[in-house]
Amino acid sequence: MAKTIAERTDEELAREARAGSRRSFDELARRYKRRLFVYLRPRLGSDEDAEDLVQETFLKLYRNIAGYDPAFKFSTWLYTSANRLAIDSFRKRSAEKGHPAAERDLDIPDPAAGVGEGPAASGLWEEARTLGGDRYRVLWLRYGEDLSVEEIAAVLGRTRLAVRVLLHRARTSLAGRLGPDMKRTPRTAAAGQAARD
């Protein structure tokens, strides 16, 4: 019995999209749009910018789907494209402003995140987002997408050692902020339960 479209793996859908299936591509977009959004949001100025970049990433993927190699994970390919687009977008904006700046300047933690709330009330991912761009991104790719260190290095264009250092620093920072009490908060527990339901 053939799998339904929801049961197919990302790689199967990507193969079908490469063969011209628009429906498979739409399913991939449905699966990944929120995930890309939370990945890109901290390095952009607003939700609208993040949505635009997600849109742009899928447009680029749609155009280049013929270049997808099924030997590689679809998520690695997707996040690599998104990462490059985010860097290009940042450079364009820097050029428009008329002054070059390092990318990390844009990785300012979202000021709206966690204001007036401690980590116990805002959830661990919200706390992770305040760590800054690189650390948040590696945490998301590692625990949000379950990518290996090697795959994260490929996505970010860094060495494996650099990725491990970033992960270690992210853990150390989070551990320092959260302290020994790592018990779950009622809000995150409820949200997690709702998402599972």
Using DSSP's 3-state secondary structure scheme, residue 134 falls into helix
CB 114 within 8 A of CB 177: no
From the DSSP assignment, how many helices (H) and strands (E) are in the chain?
Answer: 10, 0
Site residues for another protein per CB under 8 A: 18-20, 22, 25, 29-30, 33-35, 37-38, 47, 51, 54-55, 58-59, 62-67, 123-126, 128, 139, 142-144, 146, 149, 164, 167-168, 171-172, 174-175, 178, 180, 182, 184, 188, 191-192, 194-196
Residue 52 CB, nearest distance to another protein (Å)? 10
Three-state SS at 28: helix
Residue with Cβ nearer another protein (10 or 126): 126
DSSP 130: T
Q: Provide the token pair at 133.
A: 């761009």
Distance from C-alpha of 154 to C-alpha of 72, rounded to nearest angstrom: 11
Nearer to another protein, 101 or 189 (CB): 189
Residue whose CB is less far from another protein, 30 or 104: 30
Compute the least distance from the CB of residue 100 to another protein, in Å: 25
